Amino acid sequence: MKEAKDVPPHHTTQLLHNVMPSSAETEGENANPQFSNSKLSPLAVKIANGLQTSVISPSVLGGTVRLADLVIVAAFGFASLHSGGVPLASSTALLPVATALLLSSAFFQASDCYQIPLMRNMVAQAARMTIAWTLVFVTLFMAKTFGNVMRGLPGDLLIIWYGFGLATLLTARTLVTIFVRKWTREGRLERRAVIVGGGQVAADFIHEIERQPNNDIRICGLFDDRKGDRSPDIVAGYPKLGTVSDLVEFARIARIDMLIVTIPLRAEKRLLEFLKTLWVLPVDIRLSAHTDKLTFRDRASSFIGTVPIVDVVHKPLADWDSIAKRAFDLTVASLMIVLLSPVMLATALAVKLESKGPVLFRQKRYGFNNEVIEVLKFRSMYHEMADPGAKKVVTRNDPRVTRVGRFIRRSSLDELPQLFNVLKGDLSLVGPRPHAVNAHTNEKLWDEVVDGYFARHKVKPGVTGWAQINGWRGEVDTPEKIQKRVEYDVYYIENWSILFDLRILLATPLALFKSENAY
């Protein structure tokens, strides 16, 4: 069965055909507001526009299909045994089902049934599933025939279980194939990569990548600071889209998974300069090692096919981690909204009674990957003195803050509406606190005060965070205070776990008593 038509094109002749802007677009008809002030070239903007859809993690897809398989195995096992009068709570039912689950997991895995290339091919997938499923029941029949533990299990029920289970598994895999082919055509089952560097070294690397069978890397372009013959505008058919500083803006806009630096490892100074610029991005950063005759430890290196790369920076909260954190956020935030609803209603009433104006205050702040989001708070200032742009820092005894406002700011009750931001997906319960877009100290924006400030935006911001429970909340009137916040935020990102989130949430109420810096 030919699958080439379902695999996204990797050569840039197709890429350039898809993304090259028309004359109308270059004259401004492609003026997406998000790109209106962009310094990127029209071609880079066009490519970034085409990379707005999110990709589907192969590991998450494979894990979801695996779970569905096991649910089918268990459901038809219990249904078949129940239809024959076998009590479901008895060992006669539980032991065969548990054994079938273990055998199915092992045989399906051994048959590569969770590999994306196989999921695209219905015939090969059906053949392997049938063989693996048959081996499961051959083993069960052998255990029933030659062992004592399953002697009481009726053989006809096993046959019913085998037949209905196989039919359902193949039906489910047919649906999987339909969706996997659709997502492949849409480019959602690929790893989107940008090459950092140019010239012959980058060309050699690209050719090596394209020669790999079942390659899921889609190269979206190159960025290089060099010009002229050392770094031509087209490398191995792929366009150079700008400089390395342009790449930071490009990766803020487009959904990129990986940056591959093709600069030789021996060019240490240039390499370090690039990494210092790029590490703030929420992407995997890899170094190509195909031209360096070096051997790296297994945990520090990986391969794209047979092409060696060195793992430098891992994308935080990827794959199942992001799903676990989102599930945790939705569950706990929903519960907190229910439990704290009387407090929120009382706070809203107090705000409304003291001064005129809306109860809620909306402020634009930086979210994940520098996206601007709108964060909710209970209004703590007089409406006519509100400062949505955060142009002036709130200080002790600030005349703009109401009496109720001082209390809710000091106790952080003003932040409670952000639980709805969590449900919406703009915020997480725990993470670096979202700062206002104009936040500054001594007339300098915070990204100008702290080197690598935007690294704290590699994950979603949070209602509470590691910095806040360690006392770094409230007024930021010195460069040292924002420096400390960033240090704690980066530590959190690099050491995240669900237990860490839970620890921070439990410590937050106690941290609120330390309110000397909160005005």
Domain CATH code at residue 234: 3.40.50.720
Q: Which of 313, 329, 353 is the last residue before a domain boundary?
A: 313
Q: Which of 169, 185, 201 is the last residue before a domain boundary?
A: 185
DSSP annotation of 436 reads B
Q: Within a domain: residue 149? A: yes
47-53 contacts at long range (C-beta below 8 A, 24 or more positions apart): 47/15, 47/19, 47/220, 47/221, 47/241, 47/254, 48/250, 48/253, 48/254, 50/18, 50/19, 51/192, 51/220, 51/254, 51/255, 51/256, 52/254, 52/255, 53/186, 53/187, 53/188, 53/255
Q: Which pLDDT does position 6 carry in this prediction? A: 43
Q: How far is it, in rounded angstroms, from Cα 249 to Cα 56?
A: 23
Q: Within a domain: residue 16? A: no
Q: Are residues 405 and 279 in the same domain?
A: no
Q: Are residues 179 and 195 in the same domain?
A: no
pTM above 0.85, yes or no: no
State the total domains in the chain.
Answer: 3
Whether 293 has a pLDDT exceeding 60, the answer reads: no
Q: Within a domain: residue 436? A: yes
Whether 457 has a pLDDT exceeding 90, the answer reads: no
Q: Are residues 178 and 194 in the same domain?
A: no
The single residue listed with the structure tokens 């052998």 is 142
Q: Which of 313, 336, 370 is the last residue before a domain boundary?
A: 313
Q: Are residues 376 and 425 in the same domain?
A: yes
> In one letter, which amino acid is 95?
L
Q: Are residues 335 and 471 in the same domain?
A: yes
DSSP annotation of 166 reads H
Q: Are residues 228 and 362 in the same domain?
A: no
- For residue 99, name the pLDDT band (cuts at 50, 70, 90): very high
Residue of 209, 241, 227, 297 whose CA lies nearest to 50: 241
Q: Mean pLDDT lowest for which of 2-11, 200-209, 277-286? A: 2-11
Q: Which pLDDT does position 69 carry in this prediction? A: 96
Residue 269: CB atoms within 10 Å: 7
Q: Are residues 220 and 262 in the same domain?
A: yes
Q: Are residues 368 and 501 in the same domain?
A: yes
- For residue 177, name the pLDDT band (cuts at 50, 70, 90): very high
Q: Within a domain: residue 27? A: no
Q: How far is it, in rounded angstroms, from Cα 128 to Cα 175?
A: 16
**pLDDT-above-90 percentage for the chain:** 34
The single residue listed with the structure tokens 């008809």 is 29
Q: Within a domain: residue 38? A: no
Q: Are residues 300 and 333 in the same domain?
A: no
- For residue 215, name the pLDDT band (cuts at 50, 70, 90): confident
User: What is the mean pLDDT of the segment spanning 333-353?
Assistant: 94
Q: Are residues 361 and 477 in the same domain?
A: yes
More confident: 339 or 280: 339
Q: Are residues 177 and 197 in the same domain?
A: no
The single residue listed with the structure tokens 């360096």 is 292
Residue of 22, 4, 241, 10 whose CA lies nearest to 117: 4
Q: Which pLDDT does position 27 carry in this prediction? A: 37
Whether 78 has a pLDDT exceeding 60, the answer reads: yes
- Which structural domain range is residue 239 located in? 190-313
Q: Would you say 81 and 165 are in contact if contact means Cβ atoms under 8 Å apart?
A: no
pLDDT digits 0-9 by tens, 119-164 = 999 999 999 999 999 999 999 888 888 766 676 778 888 899 999 9
- The bridge status of strand 307-313 relative to strand 301-304 is antiparallel
Q: Within a domain: residue 393? A: yes
Residue of 269, 306, 305, 274 whose CA lies nearest to 287: 274
Q: Within a domain: residue 491? A: yes
Whether 440 has a pLDDT exceeding 80, the answer reads: no
Q: Would you say 286 and 260 are in contact if contact means Cβ atoms under 8 Å apart?
A: yes
Q: Within a domain: residue 402? A: yes
Say which residues have a Cβ less than 8 Å from residue 136's Cβ, sequence separation at least 6.
Answer: 100, 103, 104, 107
